[in-house]
């Protein structure tokens, strides 16, 4: 069965440099940088991450209502259970005010309210749906109920912008479920029908669905190249030909970081093994961890202990 592949989007927040004018003859001072705010201290599971959603504005200060806006909402809503909904809503509104001018921010906050009301109503609607043994029929019924409900909260244009991309995926997924569950098809017919469905996919959806497979194939090719004695230059060229030079450079940097991490782990394990008999108690081990790793890094140590 085909799995759901989604792209994930990240938006960087840059610091602002403050330069001071000095009197003649004074040595120049280094620029003062405004520290970047800790946007996720209120949800520990999101520490070190960035909010999804590249929210944009069109000419005339008009908010662009698209899937990116929904990605931003959903990113913060994933923190439910760690923080109450009211706190998360306040955080989303603060992020919208930070990113947008007052007019589009006000429109985005209005849509946020509609989005939250829609999600709450959707939960009640789904619970009221009758149970169905056929998974494809059950999924189709959910989609119809979901789309009918949206008209209570959004205009057709807003619905198309916020949910159009996910609707295309959902329709494709339900169609594939029906094909895979159709007992009247033999395997050759099933594969031919799925291939025909592939050809009907919008290019963007096809690229998003195929991206993880492409990454997995590239990873296998890189492993094979290194096993044959290929160096980092060859690996870079292979990655750049598959994706882009910029992506290849980022992957090379990740390789370096992972190599450095593994070297630190080996050194730490050697230090841990060299502790004198009886010293390997919780306090001694924690002291060793503190000397070698930051608190954030220590969260990764469980896999090596």
Residues 187 and 262 in one domain: no
Inside any domain, residue 177: yes
- pLDDT higher than threshold 70 for residue 182: yes
Query: What pLDDT is stored for residue 42 in this prediction?
Result: 57
* Residues 271, 273: Cα–Cα separation, whole Å: 5
- Decide: helix, strand or coil at residue 196: helix
Region class of 51: left (phi > 0), else alpha (psi between -120 and 50), else beta: beta
Residues 54 and 165 in one domain: yes
Query: What pLDDT is stored for residue 23 in this prediction?
Result: 34
Query: What pLDDT is stored for residue 72 in this prediction?
Result: 94
pTM > 0.75: no
Query: What pLDDT is stored for residue 12 in this prediction?
Result: 33
Query: What pLDDT is stored for residue 275 in this prediction?
Result: 78
Residues 56 and 190 in one domain: yes
**Mean pLDDT score of the chain:** 82
Query: What pLDDT is stored for residue 9 in this prediction?
Result: 34
Residues 182 and 70 in one domain: yes
* Residues 270, 288: Cα–Cα separation, whole Å: 11
Residues 46 and 186 in one domain: yes
Inside any domain, residue 193: yes
Inside any domain, residue 280: yes
Inside any domain, residue 107: yes
Residues 63 and 171 in one domain: yes
Task: Name the domain boundary from 205, 221, 248.
Answer: 205
Residues 154 and 260 in one domain: no
73, burial (CB in 10 Å: exposed 0-12, middle 13-18, buried 19+): buried
Identify the bridge partners of residue 57 per DSSP, sorted by sequence position.
63
Least confident of 49-53, 81-85, 245-249: 49-53
The domain tally of the chain equals: 2
Report yes or no: 81 and 101 within 8 Å, Cβ to Cβ.
no
Inside any domain, residue 31: no
Least confident of 131-140, 175-184, 240-249, 279-288: 279-288
Least confident of 73-82, 156-165, 290-299: 290-299
Residues 146 and 85 in one domain: yes
The residue that leads in pLDDT, 304 or 174, is 174
Task: Name the domain boundary from 205, 220, 252.
Answer: 205
Q: Apex CA 214: angle with CA 3 and CA 76, to 5°?
A: 55
Structure tokens at 60: 């005339």
Query: What pLDDT is stored for residue 297 in this prediction?
Result: 86
User: Using 50, 70 and 90 to split pLDDT, how confident is the model at 41?
Assistant: low
Inside any domain, residue 15: no
- pLDDT higher than threshold 70 for residue 288: yes
- pLDDT higher than threshold 70 for residue 241: yes
Residues 270 and 147 in one domain: no
Inside any domain, residue 139: yes
Residues 254 and 300 in one domain: yes
Residues 171 and 295 in one domain: no
Inside any domain, residue 3: no
Q: Apex CA 208: angle with CA 58 and CA 259, to 5°?
A: 105
The residue that leads in pLDDT, 283 or 139, is 139
Residues 235 and 176 in one domain: no
Domain range spanning residue 124?
A: 36-205
* Average pLDDT estimate for 241-248: 84
């Amino acid at each position: 069965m085909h799995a759901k592949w989604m792209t994930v989007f990240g938006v960087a927040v840059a610091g602002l440099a403050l330069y001071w004018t000095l009197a003649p003859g004074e040595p120049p001072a280094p620029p003062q940088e405004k520290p970047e705010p800790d946007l996720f201290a209120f949800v520990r599971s999101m520490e070190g991450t960035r909010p999804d959603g590249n929210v944009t504005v069109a000419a005339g200060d008009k908010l662009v209502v698209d899937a990116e806006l929904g990605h931003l909402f959903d990113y913060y809503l994933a923190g439910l259970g760690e923080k109450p909904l009211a706190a998360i809503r306040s955080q989303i509104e603060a992020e919208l005010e930070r990113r947008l001018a007052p007019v589009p921010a006000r429109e985005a906050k209005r849509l946020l309210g509609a989005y939250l009301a829609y999600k709450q109503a959707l939960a009640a609607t789904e619970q009221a749906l009758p149970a169905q043994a056929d998974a494809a029929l059950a999924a189709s019924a959910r989609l119809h109920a979901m789309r009918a409900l949206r008209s209570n909260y959004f205009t057709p244009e807003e619905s198309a912008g916020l949910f159009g991309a996910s609707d295309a995926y959902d329709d494709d997924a339900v169609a594939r479920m029906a094909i895979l569950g159709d007992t009247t098809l033999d395997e050759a017919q099933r594969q031919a029908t799925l291939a025909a469905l592939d050809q009907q996919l919008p290019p963007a959806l096809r690229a998003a669905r195929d991206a993880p497979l492409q990454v997995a194939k590239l990873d296998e090719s890189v492993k094979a190249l290194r096993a044959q004695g290929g160096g980092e230059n060859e690996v870079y060229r292979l990655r750049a030909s598959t994706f882009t030079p910029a992506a290849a450079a980022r992957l090379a940097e990740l390789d370096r970081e992972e190599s450095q991490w593994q070297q630190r782990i080996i050194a730490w394990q050697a230090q841990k093994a060299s502790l004198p008999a009886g010293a390997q108690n919780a306090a001694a081990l924690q002291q060793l961890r503190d000397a070698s790793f930051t608190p954030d890094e220590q969260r990764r140590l469980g896999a090596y202990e």
